[in-house]
Structure 1
Amino acid sequence: MGSVYIPLRTTFDALLTGTSDSGNWGYIIWQFRIPKAISAIIIGSGLSLSGLLMQTLFRNPLAGPYVLGVSSGASLGAAILIMGAGLVPFAIAIDNPVTLVVASALGSFLVLMAVMGMARKTKDSMALLIIGLMFGSITSAVVSVLSYFSEAEALQRFIIWSLGSLGHLSWGQIGILALALLLGLLFTVISIKSLNGLLLGETYAQSMGTDIKKARIYIILAAGILAGSITAFAGPIAFVGLAVPHLARQLFDTTQHKVMVPATLLLGAILMLLCDIVAQLPGYEQVLPINAITSIIGAPIVIWLLWKRNKMLF
């Protein structure tokens, strides 16, 4: 769906044969709509899995993929590139989208490395959570300072980036995102036993023979890779990583990660695709910010499920 109407039969022909009756339609399908749909699947799955990992590690239902400050680090990298060009003595090609991705990825990577360094020295997971939040506060403060001194055009460009977008990724960038998702999923699968043990606390997990420090590093690395890479390529996308794990628990009525991991991946992809359909405004040229749609659609669903379950308990 989109601003240009394409018959359903033409869409199926393009998907099955790689060609269509109109060259323009085929270009729109293969160079814009299919990449955007695949991006939505990867981004929704990755953010949801990252949120599940953080909620399990910190045993906090309000934890999301960005609690470690990784998203704030990516925002700082983007802010320095977009709004700091006039404040630094060297010029940067801010109009190049590849440069923006590299800057965002570098910012998230540096914050992730700092948090992982703290994870090696910190025994308490709650202290690590607070440290991550403090990293996020520091980077957000720097972004605020840059926003205050930036020009209106640069500030508007940064705001547009911060609203998130799914429709500007190339096939190469989608491939990188897919590799990041597979890498994060690999670390998650390795940590399945540790994640199930952490549901009952670190003491119980240790009694099961879990190496807490090693498990914590694997989990943080998986969540950081997922959240950092997605933020770098698509901007900060809110709510999905926080809400989808709750949806999975409500719908599948379990906390076992052998079920929760695939359920979270699937529900995250579905929710992001639905949000993208609404944001696209089929038949119109305008595209709504994906951040706003994820909250508008997802929040009522979670509220309804929680209300329904609590109503059944009393």
Structure 2
Amino acid sequence: MASAIVPAFFGVVSAFLGNWALVVAAVAGASLVFLLVALASIRISDSVSLLIIGIMFGSITGAIVNILQYFSEPEQIQSFIVWTFGSLAGVTWVEMQVMGPIVFAGLILAFFLIKPMDALLLGENYARGVGISVNKTRIAVIISTALIAGTLTAFTGPIAFVGVAVPHIARSIFRTASHKVLMPAVVLIGAAIMLICDIFSQLPGNQNTLPINSVTALFGGPVVIWVIMRSRNVKASFGG
């Protein structure tokens, strides 16, 4: 949402700050939405209700984007629509000089959070008992997620399903909940899957390129369905 606001309404600021304006907007927008969902999760423990709230947040941001498109110029709308398709080819080396350090900083922060997040797997009381600050850890997770997800989305577009499917694939392969194993596994598997999806998006013998969002959805959708069905089968086997 924030990535759409900058080019639509703050063209002067965007022209002056260049790619940094888009990055700041994307990180701020990702932080805001993630913070709202995190605050909702504190008050609501039911996963289904939390999922519905997340969908409602998505609907609200989608409505705001639609309003921005209504008041935008045709050229801005076309540019935004192309951006929503998602693409790795549009990232230049100049943009990499901005995107690379920010994403790297987010990854470094995420790896420093491995021990606190492993402690939180055993519950907040256990984490506090071993000297972990739960609130500081949550804030650091929000910052790390916003830096990585916000920056990548700003430059490559909202590429769906990879962030949802890849962690489940890593858990299924390594059969562990330890972030010490899952963190590097998710990074490597996610990068490999994105490259494979990007290859499939290039139509052989044709100059056209499929929207990478469509390719990742065709890949990630079945994985998410499989994870949900598998979890229900596990619960049923234990009489849950």
TM-score, L = length of structure 1: 0.62
The AA in structure 2 aligned to 1:111 is G
Q: Do the aligned residues in 2 keep the contact of 1:108 with 1:228 (CA within 8 Å)?
A: yes
Give distance in 1, aligned partners of 2:79 and 2:169: 34
Q: Deviations over 1:266-314 (max 9, x none)?
A: 1101110110011111221110111111111222244446656876895
Q: In 2, Cα distance between the equivalents of 1:296 and 1:240?
A: 11
Name the Cα RMSD after superposition.
Answer: 3.5
Equivalent in the alignment of 2:86: 164
Q: Which residue of 1 aligns with 2:134?
A: 212
Aligned length in residues: 229
Q: Which residue of 2 aligns with 1:150?
A: 72
Could you report, residue by residue, the CA deviation over 1:23-53 in whole angstroms, capped at 9, with x for unpaired residues?
xxxxxxxxxxxxxxxxxxxxxxxxxxxxxxx
After the TM superposition, which residues 41-120 of structure 1 pair with which residues of structure 2 at under 5 Å, given as runs? 72-77=1-6, 81-82=7-8, 84=9, 92=12, 99=18, 101-111=19-29
1:272 aligns with 2:198: no
Partner Cα distance (2:223, 2:34) in 1: 34
Work out which of the residue numbers 120, 129, 134 in structure 2 matches 1:198: 120
The whole-number CA distance in structure 2 between the counterparts of 1:227 and 1:145 is 24
Amino acid across the alignment from 1:73:
A
Determine if the alignment matches structure 1 residue 248 to structure 2 residue 164: no
Confirm or deny: 8 A CA contact 2:116 2:127 kept in the other structure: yes
State the shift of 1:141 in Å.
3.3
**Is 1:295 equivalent to 2:211 in the alignment?**
no
> Residues 108 and 286 from structure 1, CA distance in 2 versus in 1: closer, same or farther, beyond 3 angstroms?
same
Change (3 A) 1:115 1:166: closer
Is there any run of 5+ residues in structure 1 with no aligned partner, and where? 1-71, 86-90
Q: State the percentage of identical aligned residues.
A: 40
Distance of aligned partners of 1:202 and 1:134 in 2 relative to their CA distance in 1, 3 Å threshold? farther
- 1:232-243 to structure 2, matched below 5 A, reads 232-243=154-165
Q: 1:251 to 1:309 in 2, by over 3 A?
A: farther
1:116, 1:217 within 8 Å by CA — same for their partners in 2? Answer: no
Matched, 1:179 2:101: yes
**Alpha carbons 2:29, 2:150 under 8 Å: kept:** no
User: Quick check: 1:104–1:231 contact (8 Å CA) kept in 2?
Assistant: no
In structure 2, do the counterparts of structure 1 residues 189 and 205 end up closer, same or farther at CA, with 3 Å as the change threshold?
A: same
Distance in 2 between the 1:295 and 1:112 partners? 21
The SS at the match of 1:166 is coil
Give the number of the structure with larger relative contact order, counting CA–CA contacts within 8 Å between residues 6 or more apart.
1
State the distance in 2 between where 1:116 and 1:242 align: 15
Corresponding letter in the other structure for 2:113: S
Mean CA deviation greater in 199-208 or 267-276: 199-208
Query: Would the aligned equivalents of 2:31 and 2:146 in 1 still touch at CA under 8 Å?
Result: no
Please identify which structure carries the higher helix content. 2
TM-score by length of structure 2 reads 0.78
Check 1:257–1:224 CA distance in 2 against 1; reply closer, same or farther (3 A cut): same
Q: CA–CA distance in 2 between the matches of 1:139 and 1:208?
A: 39
Report if aligned partners of 1:244, 1:264 keep a CA contact under 8 Å in 2. Answer: yes
Q: Hey, what does 1:283 align to over in structure 2?
A: 205
Kindly provide the CA deviation profile for residues 127-183 of structure 1, in whole angstroms up to 9, marking residues without a partner as x.
598998887665443322122233444322211111111102222322433322321
C-alpha distance 74-171 of structure 1, shift in aligned 2 (>3 A): same
Distance in 2 between residues matched to 1:301 and 1:104, nearest whole Å:
31
In structure 2, relative to structure 1, the CA distance for the partners of 1:155 and 1:127 (3 Å cut) is: farther
CA distance in 1, matches of 2:34, 2:165: 25
Q: Hey, what's the Cα distance between the residues in 2 that align with 1:74 and 1:202?
A: 35
- Matching residue of 1:51: none
Residues 73 and 139, structure 1, Cα contact 8 Å, conserved in 2? no
Q: Who is 2:42 aligned against?
A: 126
